[in-house]
Structure 1
Amino acid sequence: MKSDRLLSILLLLQTHGQLAAATLAERLEVSTRTIMRDVEALSTAGVPVYTVRGPQGGIALLPGYHTDVTGLTADESRALFVLLSGSAHVDLGLGHALGSALRKVMAALPAPYRFDADLTSRRILIDPVRWRGSPGPDRVGPDLDAFQRAVFADWRLRLRYRHGRDNRVRTYTVDPYGLVNKAGVWYLVADHKGEPALYRVDRARSVTVLTEPVRRRDGVELAGTWEILRRRIDDLPAPLAVTVRVRDDTLALFLRVHQADLADPDQVDSPPPATQTGWTTVELRFRSLFATQTLLAFGPDVEVLTPDEARQVLARLAAAIVARYELPAAGQ
């Protein structure tokens, strides 16, 4: 609608000052000629808008023409710009509405708050969709404050980080783009040696904010980097849920060895009490049926209960092992 476009032009000029007609046309997805007609309409309506000719020219409002929203604190202004991920708005058909709403809010904010609000929108994302197979949020320690300081001050970070896949702790120096809250779980999106990487905040064993400026790739922002990393994980095969029973006298060792496969990693630090039957049921997640063969290392002390496909895979492997050892050794 033309009225909405006129308001958008006014708010963009309030926010950015002078803008080229071509820039406004690109932002609003119309022709430059349409923008010039809209500027004439605004002027006729009494809005003090004018054009500047020449290579450095453009369209601008007379200085001092703006409207502030009063009563907003700096923190409240920042809170307004902690956004849901763009994909969530697109899925709901609200992508264009979001852009329009943000322009209106940004233009109406008191000038001293605009920088912080804009920075927040580029450093924090909220993605409400939970990853399939994810066990949900862990408790977040006080180091989230350190992550925030680095993200908003544009400093590098040094992490001692425990990997979920093998439980090993490694040290990284990273260049943060921002923080993402994925269904209650906080992640740091950063470059490591120039490549995008994702780190769960609750797996950081220590965080040091370095007094070195970040070394981000030119033109790369949080939203785009998050989309790349999110797709890498979403495109992985769905985890295979496997239920096993483990002898109680082997349980502690089993939980340590298979910590990366546990549906509930907290069982390592708080194992279930011994049972009257002498067996404890444990829920695991594997990337494939083939990966379940590692369970054979525990021999008869571990039994797969479900799914039947995993039982069949292990039965075939066990039969092949028995057959191998029933034959004479090679060379005899």
Structure 2
Amino acid sequence: MRSDRLLSIMLLLQTHGQLPASDLADRLEVSVRTIMRDVEALSAAGVPVYTVRGPHGGIALLPGYRTDVTGLTADESRALFVLMSDSAHADLGLGQALGSALRKVMAALPAPHRPEADLASRRILIDPVRWRGAPGPDRPAPDLAPFQEAALTGRRLRLRYRHGRDRRTRTYTLDPYGLVSKAGVWYLVADHDGEPRLFRTDRALSATVLDQPAQRRDGLELTDVWQILRRRIDDIPAPLAVTVRVRDKVLARFLRIHEPDLAAPTPAESPPESEDEGEPGWTRIELRFRSPQAAETLLAFGADAEVLTPEDLRQALARRAAAVVALYAPCQDT
């Protein structure tokens, strides 16, 4: 749309200073003639834009002219600040750069959008790494509206919740800190009776926002409480050591799914172990699971992944596989 292009021209000139018309045309994927028409339209609308002729000429804004128009709506501003966890940027060495970039973007946002963007950055967090040994999301995404409303408005939430282990249903009155998406599964981080708790939103039977203000502990933000809860789960020991060999044709997918279970990184340069010249290659991998039940997820790879040790896990998986074969065996007429 032309209005988007006019805004882009202003922002490019504001950021880079004088630019040749050909440079603007390349950046915006239009012709130089279109750029010149757009410059005329900006000038007619009162934007102090002018052209400089000659080999070192170009298009520029009058010195000192600034616009705080970014073209972002309130929802777009909020979405921009719903970011991945700090660890993801720190791993790339971009932690300080991220903070600097956000400060600059915040300063450029229209003033009415800034409070909502800042609030979103403190109440919603994206953590892409799965829990150790946990499968991916297996349920449709829940209605997050009441959770988000409670978190963003600072109000209490009454939650009717079915627990995963004992399947019991309980009702809680919670003080929310915010929402966390953990590898596609949404969690509510909240205090219950002053203690930090974690609730899977897809196990909620109902969620009602109350008129009471949330009573969060002073000085704590979502990231602080999330780190406490995350460490409690991630630090649970995984005592079951498992050695498995995986066919090379599925190795990339296997490592992607079982990355949290790796006992140690698999060297990229290590050659796969071949059975013989006629067989495809295999790679041996060391894993850690919290229980034999958690290791049963290896059956999803069928004959492309074989447990080598421990022997009792091999036997347990063999029994599970035999039960599946028996279930699907064709009926024999007598």
TM-score range, shorter chain: 0.5 to 0.7
Distance in 1 separating the partners of 2:67 and 2:233: 44
- Residues 66 and 163 of structure 1: CA distance in aligned 2, closer, same or farther (over 3 Å): farther
Partner SS state of residue 133, structure 2: coil
Distance in 2 separating the partners of 1:188 and 1:114: 24
CA contact (8 A) 1:143 1:207 kept: no
Q: What letter corresponds to residue 312 of structure 2 in structure 1?
A: E
Distance in 2 separating the partners of 1:216 and 1:66: 40
CA contact (8 A) 2:142 2:202 kept: no
Residue in 1 that maps onto 2:160: 160
Distance in 1 separating the partners of 2:120 and 2:193: 25
Distance in 2 separating the partners of 1:241 and 1:186: 30
In the TM superposition, residue 88 of structure 1 has moved relative to its aligned partner by 1.3
Deviates more, 1:107-116 or 1:70-79: 70-79
Distance in 2 separating the partners of 1:178 and 1:206: 17
Residue in 2 that maps onto 1:123: 123
In the TM superposition, residue 237 of structure 1 has moved relative to its aligned partner by 2.3
Partner SS state of residue 72, structure 1: coil
In the TM superposition, residue 309 of structure 1 has moved relative to its aligned partner by 3.3
Partner SS state of residue 216, structure 1: coil
In the TM superposition, residue 142 of structure 1 has moved relative to its aligned partner by 4.8
In the TM superposition, residue 240 of structure 1 has moved relative to its aligned partner by 5.7
CA contact (8 A) 1:187 1:198 kept: yes
Distance in 1 separating the partners of 2:79 and 2:96: 21
Residue of 294, 297, 309 corresponding to 2:312: 309
Residue in 2 that maps onto 1:7: none
Unaligned runs of 5+ in 2: 1-63, 243-288, 295-308, 317-334
Distance in 2 separating the partners of 1:287 and 1:171: 29
Distance in 1 separating the partners of 2:154 and 2:180: 16
CA contact (8 A) 1:84 1:125 kept: yes
Distance in 2 separating the partners of 1:308 and 1:161: 39
CA contact (8 A) 2:159 2:173 kept: yes
Residue in 2 that maps onto 1:169: 169
Partner SS state of residue 105, structure 2: helix
Partner SS state of residue 84, structure 1: coil
Residue in 1 that maps onto 2:47: none
Residue in 1 that maps onto 2:137: 137
CA contact (8 A) 1:140 1:201 kept: no
Distance in 1 separating the partners of 2:94 and 2:198: 27
Q: Percent identity?
A: 76
Q: What letter corresponds to residue 106 of structure 2 in structure 1?
A: M
Distance in 2 separating the partners of 1:141 and 1:126: 15
Q: What letter corresponds to residue 100 of structure 2 in structure 1?
A: S
Residue in 2 that maps onto 1:148: 148
- Residues 138 and 153 of structure 1: CA distance in aligned 2, closer, same or farther (over 3 Å): farther
1:259-297 alpha-carbon deviations (Å, 9 max, x no partner) = xxxxxxxxxxxxxxxxxxxxxxxxxxx844699xxxxxx
CA contact (8 A) 2:70 2:108 kept: no
Residue in 2 that maps onto 1:320: none
Residue in 1 that maps onto 2:79: 79
Distance in 2 separating the partners of 1:182 and 1:227: 12
* TM-score between both structures, scaled by the size of structure 2: 0.53
Distance in 2 separating the partners of 1:162 and 1:78: 31
Partner SS state of residue 78, structure 1: helix
1:83-121 alpha-carbon deviations (Å, 9 max, x no partner) = 111111111111101100000000000000000000000
Distance in 2 separating the partners of 1:241 and 1:149: 44
CA contact (8 A) 1:126 1:182 kept: yes
Residue in 2 that maps onto 1:218: 218
- Residues 70 and 91 of structure 1: CA distance in aligned 2, closer, same or farther (over 3 Å): closer
Q: What letter corresponds to residue 185 of structure 1 in structure 2?
A: V
In the TM superposition, residue 241 of structure 1 has moved relative to its aligned partner by 10
Residue in 1 that maps onto 2:203: 203
Is 1:108 matched up with 2:108? yes
Residue in 1 that maps onto 2:238: 238
* TM-score between both structures, scaled by the size of structure 1: 0.53
Matches within 5 A, 1:283-322: 287-288=290-291, 308-309=311-312
1:115-150 alpha-carbon deviations (Å, 9 max, x no partner) = 000000001000011112112113345531111111
Residue correspondences, number: 195
In the TM superposition, residue 209 of structure 1 has moved relative to its aligned partner by 1.1
- Residues 104 and 212 of structure 1: CA distance in aligned 2, closer, same or farther (over 3 Å): same
Matches within 5 A, 1:4-19: none
Distance in 2 separating the partners of 1:174 and 1:100: 34
Distance in 2 separating the partners of 1:238 and 1:98: 34
Partner SS state of residue 188, structure 1: strand
